[in-house]
Structure formats: structure tokens, C-alpha cells
């Protein structure tokens, strides 16, 4: 029997790195389960991918709502596709001092960048275990390893995400589940246009989303007998 078609679940899939990854994985022969807040943007992306002949299932889901994540993933996976690769890409950034950051902004950032990843993994682990394994890839930032003024909450969330990935890998290794982290320098995405981000960086010198997507595919296509635990891509121009 031929090998089953691989399936990639991608969060934050409607734009930026997530949309680039959807295009990259579809071109490589993956069926897709795509999550994002905007149903319209997901529908447009699915229509764009249609000529590639892959199956694409989408769900509008706000990962800032903890109560919606489990039921939403059950609904999406209930359509007949089980992911072999899970890409936790969705997230947000916030610029401002820790001393003055509103608690609600802190909680929202931690929900999106950390807790939602935990919830997505927890909801999908039974399905991955039932199929004999899988690969979870978390998209992180070099901010996990550095302290940048006015980026404190973001740095904390990404450092914690790295620890979550390592702990999850240790617990799930016996179930055939691998966990990788893609650590990125600044990437030219719509994140820089968010209302919670204020910066004057030269976006032309940043990584392109397509390069990040190619790195995600590289990680996903490694044989099941090995795992790249952390792959780092940085702009040649250096740290932003």
C-alpha cells in the first residue's frame, strides 16, 4: 500500500509565515488543516491552493479564547484528516515596558504565545498517539534567548515556549512524537503592523516569510528516526 498522504495542521495560517507555510506544504504534497481568526482570509487562501489538488480544511478559530480551542480542533479534525505535523505558528507581540504593561495585554500575549500552544498540543496528542506518532513544530524567536527593552513580555513567552517544547518532547518520545522549535530572527510579516507593536526597524533587511516556511518544511521532512530539536534562522544583517 502507498504511504498515506501527510497532513499538516497550521495555526495562524491566514497570513505571514502561516500562509507561506500552507503554500509550501501544499506544493510538497501535504493535505492541510488551517486555523486562523479570519474565515474570509482562510477561504481566499484555500481557493488559491485549489489548483495544487490538495485537500484543504479550514476553521476560523480565535486562539485567544481558551474555551474555543478544544471544541474547534475536534470539529476540524472530525472532517476526516488527522495531522502528522502540527505547526504552532500563531502568536502576537507587544512593545512596552513591563512596569507599565496592562495585565490584560500580558494575559492575552501569554494565552496566544504559550497557553494556546499547550492547549493545541494537549487536544491533538491523543490523535497523534493513535496513529503511532507525529511531529510538533513550534515557531519561536531569538527573543527567547535575549532580553530586549520593551519586548519583555514577548521574550518571556518565547523562553517559556522553548521549555514547553523540551518538556513535551521528553514526555512524548515514547509515543513516537517528536518536537522541534524553529527559532527565527526578525521576519517581514504583518506582525509589525499590529496595533500592539511600535518599531522603526528596516523591514527590507528582515527574513522573508517564505524562507521560514521552507525551514518548517525541512524540519517536517526529516525521517522519523531523527529530530532537529532547534533550527535557528537569522537575517544576515544581524539582530533587530
Q: What is the residue-level pLDDT of the chain in tens, covering all 240 positions?
A: 556 899 999 999 999 999 999 999 999 999 999 999 999 999 999 999 999 999 999 999 999 999 999 999 999 999 999 999 999 999 999 999 999 999 999 999 999 999 999 999 999 999 999 999 999 999 999 999 999 999 999 999 999 999 999 999 999 999 999 999 999 988 887 665 677 767 766 777 888 999 999 999 999 999 999 999 999 999 987 665
**Does residue 116 sit within a domain?**
yes
Asked if the structure places residue 239 within a domain, the reply is no
* Within-domain flag for 132: yes
The CATH number given to whatever domain includes residue 98 is: 3.40.50.720
Whose CA is closest to 12, among 200, 233, 209, 235? 209
Tell me if 238 is assigned to some domain.
Answer: no
Q: Does 168 fall in a domain? A: yes
Domain that holds residue 66: 7-233
Integer CA distances (angstroms), 140 to 93, 159, 221, in order:
12, 8, 19
Backbone angles phi, psi at 151, to 5 degrees: -120, 20
Q: Which of 30, 94, 154, 218 is catalytic?
A: 154
Q: Look up residue 72 and give its three cell numbers.
A: 474547534
Q: Within a domain: residue 1?
A: no
Number of compact structural domains in the chain:
1
Task: Confirm whether 2 is domain-assigned.
Answer: no
Residue 240 within a domain? no
Answer yes or no: 30 catalytic: no
Amino acid at each position: 500500500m502507498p504511504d498515506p498522504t501527510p497532513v499538516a495542521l497550521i495555526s495562524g495560517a491566514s497570513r505571514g509565515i502561516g500562509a507561506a507555510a500552507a503554500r509550501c506544504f501544499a506544493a510538497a504534497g501535504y493535505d492541510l488543516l488551517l486555523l486562523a481568526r479570519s474565515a474570509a482570509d482562510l477561504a481566499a487562501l484555500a481557493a488559491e491552493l485549489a489548483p495544487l489538488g490538495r485537500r484543504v480544511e479550514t476553521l476560523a478559530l480565535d486562539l485567544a479564547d481558551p474555551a474555543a480551542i478544544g471544541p474547534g480542533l475536534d470539529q476540524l479534525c472530525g472532517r476526516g484528516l488527522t495531522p502528522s505535523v502540527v505547526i504552532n505558528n500563531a502568536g502576537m507581540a507587544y512593545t512596552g515596558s513591563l512596569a507599565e504593561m496592562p495585565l490584560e495585554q500580558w494575559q492575552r500575549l501569554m494565552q496566544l504565545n504559550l497557553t494556546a500552544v499547550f492547549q493545541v498540543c494537549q487536544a491533538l496528542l491523543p490523535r497523534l498517539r493513535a496513529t503511532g506518532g507525529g511531529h510538533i513544530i513550534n515557531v519561536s524567536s531569538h527573543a527567547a534567548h535575549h532580553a530586549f527593552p520593551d519586548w519583555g513580555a514577548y521574550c518571556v513567552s518565547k523562553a517559556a515556549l522553548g521549555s514547553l517544547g523540551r518538556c513535551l518532547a521528553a514526555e512524548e518520545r515514547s509515543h513516537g512524537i517528536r518536537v522541534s522549535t524553529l527559532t527565527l530572527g526578525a521576519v517581514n510579516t504583518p506582525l509589525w503592523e499590529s496595533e500592539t507593536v511600535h518599531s522603526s526597524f528596516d523591514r527590507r533587511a528582515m527574513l522573508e516569510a517564505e524562507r521560514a516556511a521552507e525551514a518548517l518544511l525541512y524540519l517536517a521532512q526529516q525521517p522519523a528516526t531523527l529530530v532537529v530539536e532547534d533550527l535557528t534562522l537569522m537575517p544576515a544583517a544581524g539582530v533587530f
